[in-house]
Amino acid sequence: MINLVGWGHNMAFMRYSDWWRMHRRMFHQYFQPRAVPAYYPVQMRATSVLLQQLHKSPADFVHHVRHHAGSVIMKTVYAYDVNPNGDRFVELVDQALESMRLVGTVGAFLVDYRWFPGANFRSLADTWRKDVEDMKDKSMANDFVEPSFVSENLAKTKEIGMLENARQLEIIRNTAATVSVVLSAILAFILYPEIQAKAQAELDTVVGSTRLPNFDDRPQLPYIEAILSEALRWNPVVPMGVAHRSVNADVYRGYYIPAVIGNAWAILHDEKDYPNPLVFDPERFIPEDGKELQPYPLAAFGFGRRICPGRYLALNSAWIAIASIAATLSFSKAVDSEGSILEPSDTFTDGFLSFPMPFECTIKARSSQAQVLIESGKL
């Protein structure tokens, strides 16, 4: 089904091969840890817009979080400035993302096994493939005016026949990761107000109230870092992982390695490593005397050589967003017209990609000073 929809040449779904390694090397060059600080200004500007949108129209917070993630990706990959008041490219990414959410889970459609008479997967695939192709084609329609990942590799890709795949990259996967983590953090702030209060206290001490957090503050904000890690663990964006497996069963140093598919959700909710795994608890990742730290949730990004190469960019986008919204805004449970509290659910969508189930919340500026900071757009 992945091939029918048009995702077959996306690096995340390719078979391990020389072709895949070529893509991986090119991507790693621009999104490795030493390279991603170049994108800090883009992420800071996008976060400033996010704060303004959340304050102006809080009911549309899910749309704003998606817009924030999409704007960072489109700027870094294509040097394209997303329209903050609504953008066709972000809409296309959302539509293509939905197709990936539904078809990415192995076995979700009978075509993953064999032809099955009467199945409707072909008509669904045709519809979703159009969304994927529109996203790829329209994103390259304009001339490049600024350096970007694609523009700097355009000559190379023409020479080695990789232009089509360079267009695809991992836009959807990285956008989804940022969106899922930020929405999970917002949901946690509502369900666990004491966590929000502790995060805000740390930010007040380190950053103060006259500016927004920046990446230089990150080493001094361990609790914000722990919230990011716990959001990754609590709801991994790709809970069942990308459907790769060992090519063949093997034995390594006496260990039998079957040809299986990794299950990120099961790994990150194993009670032996993460006691009370369904509870959102950033303290898991805070070092204390005599306390054993719980494992960093790296499985949220895949395994081994197939681990997501865009994870550093996605994590940075999520970190600056979480730090900034906690510094300037307060999140609480929504109240209906009769004054009754609307209890949000701590459940998540199923499918290849996972996000919090739709919920409502109240979003307000923490103070008049925070409101001025949001409206001024100071970085």
Question: Looking at this protein, which amino acid is placed at residue 26?
Answer: M
Burial class (CB in 10 A: 0-12, 13-18, 19+), 130: middle
**What residue has token string 């722990």?**
226
Query: What is the rounded (10 degree) CA torsion for 265, 266, 269, 275?
Result: -170
Alpha-carbon distance 32 to 37, whole Å?
A: 10
Q: What's the token pair of residue 54?
A: 């959340």
Structure tokens at 336: 């209906």
308 is known to lie in a ligand binding site: yes
Q: Are strands 255-257 and 329-333 parallel, antiparallel or unpaired?
A: unpaired
Amino acid making up residue 127: T
User: Within 13 Å, how many C-alpha atoms sit on residue 313's CB side?
Assistant: 32
Neighbours of 142 (CB within 10 A): 10
Candidates 78, 320, 42, 322; CA nearest to 195 is 322
CB-based burial, 43-69: b 16+ in 10 Å, e otherwise: bbbbbbbbbbbbbeebeebbebbbbbb
In which element (H, E) is residue 117 found?
none
Q: What would you report as the CA-atom Rg of the chain, rounded to the nearest whole angstrom? A: 21
Residue 300 and residue 268 in contact, taking contact as beta carbons nearer than 8 Å: yes
Taking the C-alpha atoms of residue 135 and residue 132, their distance in angstroms, rounded to an integer, is 5
Residue 161, H or E segment = none
Angle of the 88-103 helix axis to the 121-138 helix axis, nearest 10: 150
**Cβ–Cβ contacts within 10 Å for residue 288, how many?**
8
Q: Report the binding-site residues for heme.
A: 308
Q: Report the binding-site residues.
A: 308
